[in-house]
Chains A and B, each alone.
Chain A
C-alpha cells in the first residue's frame, strides 16, 4: 500500500504520508462496513420476520424474504449492499417504503448542523481554557478546572442533558426543553432550540481537551526554546502564539479528534434527549422498528464520519510537526 501511495505522489513526503493515511482509512472503512453489515444481518433472527413482526404469516415472511434476496448467502448480500452503497443507492426504508437517501437528507443536515455548532464552540473554547490553565498554573482557575475535569468526565452525556433541561427549561424557563428545529418558525428560534443540545455535548467534551491542552502547554512552556525566546526579549503574545502553541497543539488536536469521534456516538444519545430530528433519533427509531436499510445507512454514515474525523486529525498533526512533515524516508 505504501508503494501505491509513493508511486501516486512521487517524491513529496507530505503527500505520500497523507495518501498513505487516506488509503489506511479506506481499508478501515471497508472493514467497518462489513462489521455493520454483519451486526445487522448475520445475527440470529430473520430480518424479514423481524420486519413484519410476530403476527406475520409464514407466507408473507417468505414473500418478503424473496423480495429482499435473503436466500442468498451473506457474502453475496454484503457484496450487493456494498456495491449499491458505492453507487449511492442506500436502498428503500422497510417502514416508510421511501428511498433511504430521501429519508436521510433532512436529518443528515440537522445532525451536521448540530455537530458543526458543537465543534465550532468546542475547539476554540477548550483550547482557550486549557492555555489559560497552563498560564495560571496551580492558580485558583487551574485548580478549580482540574477538579471539574473528573466530575465532567464522569457524568454521562444524557444525564448532563437532563440536568440542563431541569435547570434551564423546567425551573428557570429560559430555554425550550426540546429541540424540534424542523418545527421552528425562524432561524433565531431554531438557534435558541439548539442552545441546550450544544451545551450538553460541550459540557461532556470540554474537560478532556482542556486537560490535554493544559498538560502539553505546561510542558512546552517549560521547554528550552520558550525560555530562550523569552531571553531574546520577544513579546509574550508572540512567544505564546508562535513559539509555544504550535508545539502544544499536537496532543490537543489528538484529544479533539478523540472527542469528535466520541461526538458521533454522543450525538445519537443527546438527540434522543432533546428529540432533535437528526440521524441519531432516526437511527434509534430504525432500530426500534428493525428498519434494516435505514440502520445500515446511518451506521455507515456515522462510522464513516468517525473515520474521516480521525483521518483529518491525523493529517493535521502531521502538518503541524515539521519533523514528520520533512521526513525523507
Chain B
C-alpha cells in the first residue's frame, strides 16, 4: 500500500477552487463551480447528489480524464501533492490503476467483451505490477476474485465477461480495480441499477476491503442510504458545488442545507413504515427495509 493509515498534513486528494465548464451551443456552461474538496488517507467519503449535479464529472477529473468539449476554467486537483493536470502521459497512466482504482457505474459494459477475465487481470497487473511474473499474476487474479466472493475463481478466470450476471460483473470490475492495490478507490455509482441484494453484497464487500487494506474510498451515489451504510463523511453536491459536508448521521438526521433536506426527505424514512407497507406491522417495514439503512451500517461497523 502506498498510503498509510495515519493522517498526513497533505491530504491524499485536494481539490481547490475547481471550476469546470462544458461547451454548449451558445458558449461554455459551468458544471462544477469553485469546488473545494479534501480527502484524507483511510477516509471513506460519499459524494451525494442528483444526476447532473457534477459528481460524475468530478470523478472523471479525479482520474485526470480529458474530454473534448470540457475545460477546466480555474482551480487545481492534487493527488498526493502532485498536480494532476499537466502530468506527462506515462505518469498519469501510473497514477490511474496503480494508485487510483476505478469502479465504473456499469460493470458489464466496462469489461472488454473479447477478453477473458484472466487476460483482463493480466493487462492491469502487467501495466502496474511489472515485478510480478505470470504465475504470480495468475495467483493475484485468483486471490482477488476469491476476495470478491467468487467460489470458483479458476472457473471464472477462463470465462468471458458476458457469461456473468450483472452483479458478478460489478464484482469483477471491483476486483480489477483492486488488483494493483491502489491507495484510493473511486466508485462511480456502482450500485445504481442493481437490485437491493446485490447492492447490499457490494457494500458488505467494501467494508471487508476497508478493514483489510485501509484503502481510501470515494463513493459516488445519488442514494444517501447506501452512502450512509459505508461512508464516514458525506459531501452533498448540488449544481456543481458541495453544499453540505458532514458525518452520515448528521446529514441524515439534521440536514442543514435546503437541498440536503430535500434529498433526505426523498429517502424512505426508517422510523416510520413507507406508506405502501402494512400499517399493522410496523416492524416489518423497519427490519425489511430495502436499503439496509443505518441499522446495517451499525451492525457491520467494526
Let me know if chains A and B touch directly in the complex, using CB atoms closer than 8 Å.
yes
List A residues at the B interface (Cβ < 8 Å): 223-235, 238, 242-243, 246-247, 320-323, 326
List residues of chain A with CB within 8 A of the CB of B173: 228
Q: How far is the CA of A321 from the CA of B114 in the complex (A)?
A: 7
Let me know if B110 and A228 touch, CB within 8 A. Answer: yes
Q: Are A323 and B96 in contact (CB under 8 A)?
A: no
Q: Do B115 and A224 have beta carbons less than 8 Å apart?
A: no
20 CB contacts below 8 A, A to B, read A223-B109, A224-B110, A226-B112, A228-B110, A231-B65, A231-B96, A231-B97, A231-B102, A232-B124, A232-B176, A233-B94, A234-B93, A234-B123, A235-B127, A242-B123, A243-B115, A246-B115, A321-B114, A322-B113, A322-B160
Residues on the B chain within 8 Å of A320, using CB: 114
CB-based contact A323/B123 at 8 Å: no
B104 pairs with A228, CB closer than 8 A = yes
Name B's interface SS.
helix
**Interface residue ranges of B96-127 to A (CB < 8 Å):** 96-98, 102, 104, 106, 109-115, 119, 123-124, 127
- The closest CB in chain B to the CB of A232 belongs to B97
How distant is A216 from chain B, measured CB to nearest CB, in Å?
A: 13
Q: Mark B57-84, 1 if CB is under 8 A from A, else 0.
A: 0000001010000000000000000000
- Bound CA–CA A322/B94 (angstroms): 30
Q: Does B143 contact A (CB under 8 A)?
A: no
A-B contact count (CB 8 A): 80
Number of interface residues of B (CB under 8 A): 30
Distance of A227 Cα from B162 Cα, bound (Å): 18
B93 partner residues in chain A, CB cutoff 8 A: 233-235
Shortest C-beta distance, A17 to chain B (Å), equals 16
Taking the closest CB of chain A, its distance from the CB of B197, in whole angstroms, is 24
**Nearest B residue (CB) for A248:** B114
Judge whether A225 and B112 touch: CB under 8 Å. Answer: yes
With the chains together, A37 CA to B198 CA distance in Å? 64
Known: A227-B104, A243-B114. 11 other contacts (CB 8 A): A224-B110, A225-B109, A225-B110, A225-B112, A228-B110, A230-B96, A233-B127, A233-B128, A243-B112, A321-B114, A323-B113
Is the beta-carbon distance between B97 and A224 smaller than 8 angstroms?
no
Q: Given the complex, which residues of B lie within 8 Å of A225, measured CB to CB?
A: 109-113
Query: Given the complex, which residues of A lie within 8 Å of B128, measured CB to CB?
Result: 233
A226 to B115, CA, bound (A): 12
Given contacts A224-B104, A225-B110, A228-B102, contact A233 B95 (CB under 8 A): yes
Q: Which of B65, B97, B112 has the most CB of A within 10 A?
A: B112
B163 within 8 A of A: yes
Residues of B within 8 A of A322 (CB): 113-114, 160, 162
What is the minimal beta-carbon distance from B11 to any residue of chain A, in angstroms? 22
- Which residues from chain A contact B111 at a C-beta distance below 8 Å? 225, 228
Contacts of B109 in A (CB 8 A): 223-225
Closest to B123 in A: A234
| B96–A224 touching, CB < 8 Å | no
Tell me the residues in window 129-146 of chain B with beta carbons closer than 8 Å to chain A beta carbons: none
